[in-house]
Amino acid sequence: MWEKETIPDPDKLYFFIHIHAMRYDKEGNNPFVPESSLTNTPDSGPNKSSDWSKYHRPEDTRFLRGEEYKFGQKIFKKPDEYFIYSTLVSDWRSIDQQHGKQSVEHDPIYNDPIPIGTPNNRAHSIIIGNKDDLKLRTIIARSIKWEIAPPDTKIECKEYKKTLGL
Amino acid sequence: MHMNTQIRNVSKIRNDYRLKPLSRNTQQNNREWGIGEKNPRSGLVGISVQHTKFHPVYTKTGIEDFTLGSKFEEEIREIADLNDNWDEEGALKPDYSNLKNATLFVLKYGNSILKTFGKNLSYPEINPCKDGSIDLVWRDKTNFLILNFREPNGQIANFYFDQYDPNLGRQGGFVPSELDQDILNYLKKFV
């Protein structure tokens, strides 16, 4: 069992994005996380999961995907299909009330025994608050930095998808 | 990048909105959307008021006689092909009505800008959201505009505009079926 801790503002949060959800610019270069990927997910609600940099490196966040089931299936995710980006904790906490105040909380996942497809994760943290607001999504999207970046071009990405069987 | 190259690239993008030969008609997916060519006599057009009759078509049953730039069409087709859970995290399949409303918006406002200012609107990014809604995004070095279509009846959409200073950002709702002057003014920055 891990105790919840307070996450400092300057720390990083790591997020994963599936290869189908990231985008390239109009020339097919410069992969980026679109504002659209920050919207609420209907079944899991407005809270967004992340990993706190105190306990995870970007490589750990990617690796852990391979121990998770895909949504609604009993099939493990493939880490190579995911890329990792980061924001600062302060990026979320500085959003004002008018545009959907966000709070960041440490939310470690611990089960014994560990259910198959739901791994323990001491780094797990959640960002609580509705994320539909366009200004909020815009501000957060601009703060994003790649930690494990996708292929540089859309053409290279298509080739990469082929190697993954996608 | 060399200036001439930049100009050529910009020109290429904008040309996607111009006349396209009949042999390059849209695909079946777009027919299902009502933006492909269904009436061969009309010829194929982009967002060009000199060659279209956009408003009457829009106010009937759709935009049957019109098509969009090839790159934009390709993006629309990719989004239309997505299924539920396309992000492996439970995202909903893009809502057909939201996708159609977003496309109609581009045609309607693109036509208006061409008619009024004689310039072609650059095509936007079209991005699916996890909740089935659709974002349209225009961005360049100085201006940023994002629209979100989440009301299937198309009566209202939301916008956010800034010049990379959120303190001076503007946001709100608008009625896409009417020509909103504020939205037009923002879009003029992307011609």
CA distance A57 to B96: 39
Q: Which residues of A22-51 are buried (b: 16+ CB within 10 A; e: fewer)?
A: bbbebeeeebbbbbbbbbbbeeeebbbbbb
The answer to whether B144 contacts A138, with C-beta atoms less than 8 Å apart, is yes
Query: What pLDDT shows up at residue A12?
Result: 98
Chain B residues closer than 8 Å to A139 by CB:
166
CB-based contact B27:B77 (threshold 8 Å): yes
Q: Which two tokens stand for residue A158?
A: 């298509």
CA of B161 vs chain A CAs: smallest distance (Å): 8
What ranges in B37-187 are assigned the alpha helix state H?
Answer: 54-59, 70-80, 96-117, 181-187
CA distance A36 to B150: 12
The pairing of beta strand A103-106 with beta strand A82-88: unpaired
CA distance A150 to A26: 16
Query: pLDDT tens digits, residue range B58-113?
Result: 333 333 334 467 777 778 878 888 889 888 888 998 888 888 888 889 888 888 88
- What phi, psi does B139 have (nearest 5°)? -145, 135
Identify the CA nearest to A16 among candidates A87, A73, A108.
A87
Query: What pLDDT shows up at residue A43?
Result: 67
Query: pLDDT tens digits, residue range B141-163?
Result: 999 999 999 987 878 999 999 99
Cα separations in angstroms, A129 against A92, A98, B29, B64? 10, 12, 37, 41
Identify the CA nearest to B15 among candidates B40, B47, B53, B52.
B47
Query: pLDDT tens digits, residue range A35-75?
Result: 999 987 776 677 899 999 999 999 999 999 999 999 889 99
Helix (H, G, I), strand (E, B) or coil at B177: coil
Residues A22, B17, B180: CA angle, nearest 5 degrees: 80
- What phi, psi does A88 have (nearest 5°)? -85, 150
Over 70: is that where the pLDDT of B3 sits?
no
Global pTM value: 0.80
Helix (H, G, I), strand (E, B) or coil at B146: strand
Mutate to test the interface with B, among A18, A35, A68, A76 (most CBs of B within 10 A): A35
| End-to-end CA gap in chain B | 20
Task: Note which residues in 99-158 of chain A have CB less than 8 A from chain B.
Answer: 132, 134-135, 137-139, 142
Q: Which two tokens stand for residue B78?
A: 């990719």
The answer to whether B90 contacts A34, with C-beta atoms less than 8 Å apart, is no
Task: Note which residues in 17-56 of chain B have CB less than 8 A from chain A.
Answer: none
Query: pLDDT tens digits, residue range B4-41?
Result: 444 334 333 333 332 233 322 233 333 333 333 333 33
CA of B40 vs chain A CAs: smallest distance (Å): 30
CA of A59 vs chain B CAs: smallest distance (Å): 19
The answer to whether A77 contacts B88, with C-beta atoms less than 8 Å apart, is yes
Which of B91, B123, B146 has its CB closest to that of A134?
B146
Which of B13, B82, B90 has its CB closest to that of A41?
B90
Q: Residue B51: how many CB atoms within 10 A of its CB? A: 14
Give the DSSP letter of residue A133. Answer: -
**Does residue A40 sit at the B interface (CB-CB below 8 Å)?**
yes
Lowest average pLDDT, out of A53-57, A106-110, A145-149, B41-45, goes to B41-45
Q: State the average pLDDT over residues A149-165.
A: 96
What ranges in B28-187 are assigned the alpha helix state H?
Answer: 28-33, 54-59, 70-80, 96-117, 181-187
The residues that bridge with A86 in the sheet, in sequence order, are A14, A145
CA of A5 vs chain B CAs: smallest distance (Å): 27
Q: State the average pLDDT over residues B155-179.
A: 93
**Does residue A98 sit at the B interface (CB-CB below 8 Å)?**
no
What is the identity of the amino acid at B87?
A: D
CA of A12 vs chain B CAs: smallest distance (Å): 22
The interface predicted TM-score of the complex, written ipTM, equals 0.91
Over 70: is that where the pLDDT of A18 sits?
yes
